[in-house]
């Protein structure tokens, strides 16, 4: 394993942390409807927990409405139960053909709760980034200990890893700030 392999691996893992955070932020409810709100919900479909997007079309025909049209109408009741059980703060309406989910206005208190959740998710991502940094630093130190790289290369590698960490923590901060603005906008 070379120094460049350690760096490539660290970049890949940090990028994955950013992608996970993007997915988590997409699932956080803002004042407008988004299919991502119900993306993580799983309904029982013939006894098997299945993601909604795999058993139904999910659309947002209006800014404050999500419509879920199952491919199999017999799954309506199970989808409705799953949405209620997911505790998303919304109430599905089943008309026998589709499920409509009206997205209510968020009050100030609910907005602040969502921002807290976003901050916690961002902090978890920063911890993941720091864990990647620690693993990469350990790998670089091991390379030097095994005489595969020089002390100067080790120091240079550790410095690059720290710069990479700072860059990705900065990206997380920027994403959090954008999400906070989006949630707090009335």
pLDDT at 112: 87
Confidence at residue 185, expressed as pLDDT on a 0 to 100 scale: 78
Check residue 36 and give its pLDDT.
80
- Quote the CA–CA distance of 121 and 33 in Å, as a whole number: 21
Any idea which residue has 């199970």 for tokens?
A: 78
* Residue 141 vs residues 10, 13, 158, 159: alpha-carbon distances, Å: 14, 19, 9, 12
Q: What structural domains does the chain harbor?
A: 3-26+107-184 (1.10.132.20), 32-102 (3.30.1360.40)
Residue 117: per-residue pLDDT: 87
Q: What is the pLDDT of residues 61-88, one digit of tens each?
A: 988 899 999 999 888 989 999 988 887 7
Enter the tokens of residue 162.
Answer: 């720290």
Number of Cα atoms under 13 Å in the Cβ half of residue 97? 0
Which parts of the chain have pLDDT scores under 70?
Answer: 29-31, 186
Are β-strands 56-62 and 42-45 bridged in parallel, bridged antiparallel, or unpaired?
Answer: unpaired
Closest Cα partner for 33 from 108, 103, 111?
Answer: 103
pLDDT at residue 123 in the model: 96
């Amino acid at each position: 394993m070379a120094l460049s392999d350690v760096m490539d691996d660290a970049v890949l893992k940090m990028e994955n942390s950013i992608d996970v955070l993007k997915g988590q932020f997409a699932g956080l409810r803002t004042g407008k409807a988004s299919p991502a709100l119900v993306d993580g919900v799983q309904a029982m479909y013939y006894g098997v927990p299945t993601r909604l997007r795999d058993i139904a079309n999910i659309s947002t025909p209006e800014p404050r409405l999500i419509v879920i049209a199952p491919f199999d109408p017999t799954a309506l009741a199970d989808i409705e139960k799953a949405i209620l059980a997911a505790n998303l703060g919304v109430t599905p309406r089943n008309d026998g053909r589709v499920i409509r989910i009206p997205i209510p206005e968020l009050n100030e208190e609910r907005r602040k709760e969502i921002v807290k959740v976003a901050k916690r998710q961002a902090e978890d991502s920063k911890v993941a980034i720091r864990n990647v940094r620690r693993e990469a630093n350990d790998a670089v130190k091991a390379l030097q200990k095994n005489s595969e790289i020089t002390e100067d290369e080790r120091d240079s590698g550790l410095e690059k890893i720290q710069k990479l960490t700072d860059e990705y923590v900065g990206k997380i901060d920027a994403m959090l700030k954008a999400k906070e603005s989006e949630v707090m906008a009335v």
